[in-house]
Amino acid sequence: MMSIQNRYEFVYFFDVTNGNPNGDPDAGNMPRLDPESSKGLVTDVCLKRKIRNFIELSSENEAGYEIYVKEKSVLNLQNKRAYDALDIKPEAKKLPKDEAKAHDITAWMCKNFFDIRTFGAVMTTEVNSGQVRGPVQIAFGQSIDPIVPLEVSITRMAVTNEKDLEKERTMGRKYIVPYALYRAHGFISAKLAEKTGFSDDDLSKLWESLKLMFDHDHSAARGEMTARKLIVFKHDNALGSQPAHKLFEAVKVERVQGDSGTPAGSYSDYRITIDSDGLDGVTVEELL
């Protein structure tokens, strides 16, 4: 299948209500934030995890859409599947000396695993299947306004150990963000897609993931997270017609209710606009 022929950038908006979008394990699972601006952060790894999970759900048993990095996945065993399929004997930590065989192993991994041909992967483990630079990259998401995480006490009527049976309840704590709108930027390189085989079908599945992935990611910590807007910039060629920063700067967010001194309470407190003047060679589409 032919790889994509155009470069893309995209701006992705999502929000959280009374939830923790991305806890920091080094800070007691407190929502991540920038200490200088107090704006909330969601890592690229967190967003890619949700995309992987959605693809695994939506494309189950579909050829070419397995997920390489998933729960309880043993990467050496995943890598060995390429050697078994191509009837090549693996050598510890080394690719085959024959360049054609080495290329075939990495190509097999790209062909069969969606996340490898999309995000890339370092597969230089004990069973070496090479290294792939992915055409799709996503930056950290950052909240539009500063956030003030709340620490909430919770109770559990059950106890963990029999020795604590006389206790009436077990106490615990959780963090929530009352409301925040986050913005993340994404980049898609047609030239890198040529090397991994990232196709138009893959691109369609990526857009579908970004639109629907939060609907399959609900939990006690992330009860209300919603994809709000997906703005896609499509260049008329593979290398691109405009610098990415110019496209991102064309997307502006402003408060329409309340003021910057009071926290936003919902998505309706914001207005998102796109200034497409001067973006020659680029088409703009709102997919959400």
Tell me the sheet residues that pair with 73: none
Give the count of domains, the chain.
1
Q: Are 179 and 264 in contact (CB under 8 A)?
A: yes
Q: pLDDT tens for residues 119-151?
A: 999 999 999 999 999 999 999 999 999 998 888
pTM: 0.90
| 170 pLDDT more than 90 | no
Distance, in Å, from the CA atom of 49 to the CA atom of 54, rounded to the nearest integer, reads 9
Residue 2 lies in a domain: no
Summarised one tens digit per residue, pLDDT across range 2-22 is 899 999 999 999 999 999 999
- Name the residue among 2, 47, 8 with its Cα closest to residue 287: 8
Could you tell me if residue 252 is inside a domain? yes
Q: Are 151 and 175 in contact (CB under 8 A)?
A: yes
Q: With H, G, I as helix, E, B as strand and everything else as coil, classify residue 202.
A: helix
Please state, rounded to an integer, the average pLDDT across all residues of the chain.
91
Q: Which of 175, 141, 148 is nearest to 30 (CA)?
A: 175
Helix (H, G, I), strand (E, B) or coil at 152: strand
Handedness of CA 64, 211, 10, 184 (dihedral sign): negative
In terms of pLDDT, which residue wins out, 220 or 19?
A: 19
Interval 167-181 mean pLDDT: 81
Convert the pLDDT of each residue in 32-73 to its tens digit.
Answer: 999 999 999 999 999 999 999 999 999 988 999 999 999 888
Residue 3 located in a structural domain: no
State yes or no: pLDDT of 161 exceeds 90: no
Q: Would you state the pLDDT for residue 83?
A: 94
Residue 50 CB burial class (10 angstroms; 0-12, 13-18, ≥19): buried
Q: Which amino acid is at 286?
A: E
Above 70 in pLDDT, residue 165? no
Is 42 inside a domain boundary? yes
Convert the pLDDT of each residue in 63-119 to its tens digit. 999 999 998 889 999 999 999 999 999 899 999 999 999 999 999 999 999 999 999
**Confidence band for 285, pLDDT divided at 50, 70 and 90:** very high
Q: What pLDDT is stored for residue 153 in this prediction?
A: 74
| E strand residue ranges, 99-169 | 120-124, 128-133, 136-138, 141-146, 150-156
Q: Taking 70 as the threshold, does the pLDDT of residue 270 lie above it?
A: yes
Residues 194 and 169 sit within 8 Å (Cβ to Cβ): no
Q: What pLDDT is recorded for position 220?
A: 78
Of the CA atoms within 13 Å of residue 114, those in its CB half-sphere come to: 28
In what helix (H) or strand (E) does residue 102 lie, and over which residues does it extend?
helix 99-112
Q: Is residue 1 part of a domain?
A: no
Q: CB under 8 Å to 164, separation ≥6 — which residues?
A: 170
Owning domain of residue 244:
8-164+171-286
How far is it, in rounded angstroms, from Cα 242 to Cα 126? 42
Q: Which residue has the tokens 């936003």?
A: 264
* Residue 153, beta-bridge partner list: 173
Percentage of the chain with pLDDT > 70?
A: 94
Q: Is residue 67 in some structural domain?
A: yes
